[in-house]
Amino acid sequence: MDIGVGLLGLAAALSIAIATIAPALAQGNAAARAMEAIARQPEAAGEIRTSLIISLAFMEALTIYGLLIAFLILGNIG
């Protein structure tokens, strides 16, 4: 096994791990804050929910970019 192949595999694994941990923590924090905001102002629940869904979609896009980078790195192995 070539050392370069091993390093590319490690780089792909790290790109997925780093790109997944940060958005996961941010999504949990955003959901907790949204639930707190809805509990404080139930009449604004619709607006808060809409903002939450949009922000969660942007955070999820960061994870997908990490997966794309990992695929691009793994494509260089073969």
Radius of gyration for the chain, computed over Cα atoms and rounded to the nearest angstrom: 18
CATH code: domain of residue 36: 1.20.20.10
Q: For position 2, what pLDDT does the model report?
A: 65
Q: What does the pLDDT look like over 18-74, one tens digit per residue?
A: 989 999 999 999 999 999 999 999 999 999 999 999 999 999 998 999 899 988 888
Owning domain of residue 45: 3-75
* Separation CA 17–CA 67 (nearest Å): 9
Predicted TM-score (pTM) of the model is: 0.75
More confident residue, 77 or 47: 47
Structural domains in the chain (count)? 1
